[in-house]
Amino acid sequence: MTDSGLSYGLVAVPDGSGAQWTERVRSAEQDGWTSLLVPDTLWTPSPFPALAAAAGVTNELRVRTWVIAAPLRSPAAVVRESSALQMLSDGRFELGIGSGRPDAERDAARLGVPWGTGRQRIDQAAGVISAVREQVQPPPEIIVAAAGPRMLARTAPLADRVAVVLPPQATEEDLAAAIERVRNAAGRALPLSLQLVGLAGRLPAWLQRGGLDARALEATGAVGMLTGDAAQMADTLLELRSTLGIDEFVVPGELAEFFVPVITRLAGTTG
């Protein structure tokens, strides 16, 4: 957490040499990012070695899977990888986990592992979390990515933090309703994360390819679409922390340079 009481997660993927990756994560630490988040897909490098490399060249930056699809690995495999990362990062590893994106069924087929029903995937996520808690020392912080009632009911009580999963068009009202589901499922107030959609008229390329338009999202009040200059965006984040309890904001790597001034702006803010 920074002085403002907020944390900032940077989603990034190695896309060049090892030297380029380590330089990028060093810069991220210097820019004030709290955590480095690496996705888990078959078209991007595996998150565990990428995070190990990042941990080796940083001192405070936390390293997180964003997020592993529970059906793709056995609990024992996740325990092994998590134990290694906890050791190599001196306790800075964070396990981000979900039940799997809808298109991750293709990944399961390529890996030769069962995808299972929705209930089975949720049970798998809960089993992985329990195994990591019991067998990894010290246990990493566990961040569950979820919004649906079944996933929340099963995993929110086991989580240290919930990343609220919402469509890009979701409004603040939608976010408030999702947070209420999280709190009801967990039976307590949990730290909450929100992945931002865009910043001041900019969207990451993958959302643009999906046909989304930044100005249209702004016009309809998408809560993850920040508007204005750095000061205005910083005020928006503080308001979301105050009203809804969101204390971590996750930013797509393509938009990192446009968010750094917000981090700088908030650096001296007292929470």
What domains appear along the chain, each with residue ranges and CATH number? 7-266 (3.20.20.30)
pLDDT value of position 262: 98
Q: Please check the confidence at residue 70 and state whether its pLDDT lies above 60.
A: yes
Q: For residue 196, what are the CA distances in angstroms to 20, 92, 158, 184, 223?
A: 25, 23, 25, 24, 8
pLDDT tens per residue, range 97-139: 999 988 899 999 999 999 999 999 999 999 999 999 999 999 9
Sign of CA dihedral 30, 255, 193, 130: negative
pLDDT, tens digit, 9 for 90 and up, residues 153-202: 999 999 999 999 999 999 999 999 999 999 999 999 999 999 999 999 99
Under the banding of pLDDT at 50, 70 and 90, the label for residue 270 is: low
Q: For the whole model, what pTM was predicted?
A: 0.96
In tens, the pLDDT along 200-256 reads 999 999 899 989 999 999 999 999 999 999 999 999 999 999 999 999 999 999 999
Angle ∠(236,240,246) on CA atoms, nearest 5: 130
